[in-house]
Amino acid sequence: MADKITKTDIEWQEQLTPEQYYVTRQKGTERPFTGEYNDCKIPGTFECSCCGVALFTSDHKFDSGSGWPSYWQPISEDAIISETDNSLGMARTEVMCAKCDSHLGHVFPDGPEPTGLRYCINSLSLKLNEKD
């Protein structure tokens, strides 16, 4: 993705709420079943709460029962990047915004067809742009 966004911690703190900063910049996790978009059924595009790039669409959202918004694929292959996360004593695949490196959540191989993937995403890392 072109035009990578980089800001200082102070700039991110000025832009984001303390909760958003914790999740997106410090790789935190919101408590399950507490996020704004967990049960959201509104059609639209879910954008990065830090930089506004489109990440997921409501067409790919499903109820995983995990307590976090879940998607079976990102809006495009180049919208997200991933890396191995060895925190919590286990290996997981962390997903981040490709434009600003915002922590979004993790991807797991237990989702529905056609991909079999479950992108488990923190609501605080997203902003819904509703369809008209």
Residue 120 falls in the annotated catalytic set: yes
* Start-end of H helices in the chain: 9-15, 18-26
For the chain, the farthest-separated pair of C-alpha atoms sits apart, in whole angstroms, at 44
Contact yes or no for 50/19 (Cβ under 8 A): no
Alpha-carbon dihedral sign for residues 100, 104, 108, 109: negative
Residue 45 and residue 61: Cα distance in Å, rounded? 10
CA angle in degrees (0–180, nearest 5) for 11-12-16: 125
Task: List the catalytic residue out of 50, 97, 100, 120.
Answer: 120
Best CA proximity match to 3, nearest among 82, 98, 83: 98
- Which residues are designated catalytic? 120
